[in-house]
Amino acid sequence: MAEAAARAPARPTWILALRQTAGRGRRGRVWVDPGGNFAATLALPLRAPAPQAALYSFVAALALHDALSGLVAPDRLALKWPNDVLLDDGKLSGILLESMGQGAAVTRLAIGIGVNLAAAPPPEPEAVPPVSLLGATGHTVMAEAFLDRLAPAFAARQAQFQAAGFGPIRAEWLARAARLGQRVTARTTRETLSGVFETLDPGGALVLATAQGRRLVPAGEVFF
């Protein structure tokens, strides 16, 4: 992500780290990256309102699902709101978006993606336990080979998003969603909400049916 910000390429550019020693996750958290895993960022020139740019997390999640489906049975994979891919209910992959812009418009988007190809980092309290592709399937996949799968998958999903808008992306994401129709807990910077995960709204917000009524969660974290 730092390299993408420093380079600021004029066309879409993937940057792959074979070893990452200064990884970071959402909200500045430390991201542990054992050797042999996938750590890459797509530096994407863009001109879009910030809410539309944020929807690229769902585009990236579908691209990851597409790339992984050729390596493991798709029914073992699920997408966890807002930015994780699960394998057998364990966290296999995470997505991080960082944007730069002028005024309300985003002009550059960095889409960081980590995949536990070879090893899973230590578990965190309350979080979904991490898993690795190697540990769950016995398949050894090199980072370069995975990028060869992910880059065209993302390009196809981006083309779909640009041509048809968020509607089809939203529908396909929901078809792969973890715990849809089940009770979850969502935490934001201001509150904790528990309820049934009903759907995504047209802007990608989590829709929860709570005891106090329907609530929208535009940003936050979900716990099972």
Tell me, yes or no, whether 53 and 126 share the same domain.
Answer: yes
**218 pLDDT more than 90:** yes
Helix (H, G, I), strand (E, B) or coil at 183: strand
pLDDT at 31 over 90: no
Q: List the domain range (segments joined by +) for residue 147.
A: 2-175
178: left (phi over 0), alpha (psi -120 to 50) or beta: beta
Centre a 10 Å sphere on the Cβ of residue 28 and count the other Cβ atoms it contains.
Answer: 7
Instruction: For residues 155 and 189, state if they share a domain.
Output: no
For residues 187 and 123, state if they share a domain.
no
Tell whether 168 and 189 lie within a shared domain. no
Instruction: Identify the burial level of 98 via C-beta atoms within 10 angstroms of its C-beta, where 0-12 means exposed, 13-18 middle and 19 or more buried.
Output: middle
Residue 126 has pLDDT above 90, yes or no: no
- Per-residue pLDDT tens over the stretch 106-118: 999 999 999 999 9
Q: Flag whether pLDDT at 29 surpasses 80.
A: no
Percentage of the chain exceeding pLDDT 70: 96
For residue 123, the model assigns a pLDDT of: 86
> 123 with 203, same domain?
no
Q: Could you tell me the pLDDT band of residue 17, with boundaries at 50, 70 and 90?
A: very high
Contacts of 21 (CB under 8 A, 6+ apart): 33
What is the average per-residue pLDDT within 25-46? 82
The answer on 105 and 13 residing in a single domain is yes
User: For the chain, what is the domain count?
Assistant: 2
The per-residue pLDDT for 72 is 96
Same domain, 147 and 217: no
Are 122 and 62 in a shared domain? yes
The 10s digit of each residue's pLDDT in 143-187 is 999 999 999 999 999 999 999 999 999 999 999 999 999 999 999
CATH code, domain with 145: 3.30.930.10
The mean predicted confidence, pLDDT, of the chain is 93
In 3D space, the residue among 20, 16, 12 whose CA is nearest the CA of residue 43 turns out to be 12
Is the domain of 149 the same as that of 207?
Answer: no
What one-character DSSP code corresponds to residue 32? -
Q: What is the CATH number of the domain that holds 196?
A: 2.30.30
Same domain, 153 and 190: no
